[in-house]
Amino acid sequence: MKFSANLGFLWADRPLPEAIRAAKAAGFDAVECHWPYDTPASEVSAALSETGLPMLGLNTRRGDTANGENGLAALPGREAEARAAIDDALAYAAKTGTKAVHVMAGFSGGPRAHETFVANLSYACDQAMPHNITILIEPLNHYDAPGYFLSTSQQAAAIIHESGRDNLKLMFDCYHLQIMEGDLSRRLARYLPLIGHIQIASVPDRGTPDHGELDYAHILAEIDRLGWTVPVGAEYKPIAPTDETLSWLKNRST
């Protein structure tokens, strides 16, 4: 099993290029991030080239974070801002060889939000196609992100089918989906053709994937059995310096 370090949480106290080097030294097979835009793409590209690690994904900008925004793509009337955020993310991804962009929906709801989200995703998929970049959508749980537009795998699958775009995929975050739905083994099998990335963290504390209510020995074995070969994203919140929280990775690697 291969693993990707989510640098939004891991080594978050370091500049992004240094975090990439730390992930390589720790034995990760890939990296991913949240919002890398304060770091010049050339510096990220240099660190990726030096380490040989691929960057699997990054997020679109959240919007006005001072006012609590967490994405723009499902907000009616904000289409111009949402598409500018998509353009920025795709440009950064293209410069760094990043394989996927997570288009963040934001806090919204109702039919107009749905229509807006689908239209913005269609735009994103069209713009991503020439760069061979996958567009991801991710359900978030209602405890961490109350009011977020996208909250279940079923809702995400319906949107993917409605869009009819081959480069629109589901970000299957085991942490969020266990909280919202559970039954992860069957859900992984059911949605495997639609999944573009998988992430893990313990439930309910979003810590290292070696404790809590999810048995990751079983979940990871199931992911392997299904034929998944892309690195699984470790998107957990370390309660100590990241290097002191990696016993789970060393144990999985033996």
SS (H, E, C) 176-226: HHHHHCCCHHHHHHHHHHHEEEEEECCCCCCCCCCCCCCCHHHHHHHHHHC
Ordered by start, the domain boundaries in the chain are 3-253
CATH class assigned to 3-253: alpha beta
Kindly give the confidence (pLDDT) of every residue in the chain, 254 residues in length, as a single tens digit, with 9 standing for 90 and above: 999 999 999 999 999 999 999 999 999 999 999 999 999 999 999 999 999 999 999 999 999 999 999 999 999 999 999 999 999 999 999 999 999 999 999 999 999 999 999 999 999 999 999 999 999 999 999 999 999 999 999 999 999 999 999 999 999 999 999 999 999 999 999 999 999 999 999 999 999 999 999 999 999 999 999 999 999 999 999 999 999 999 999 877 43
Is there a catalytic annotation at residue 235? yes
Active-site choice (138, 162, 181, 244): 138
Between CA 117 and CA 110 the distance in angstroms is 11
Active-site choice (43, 115, 213, 235): 235
CB-CB contact of 248 with 208 (8 Å): yes
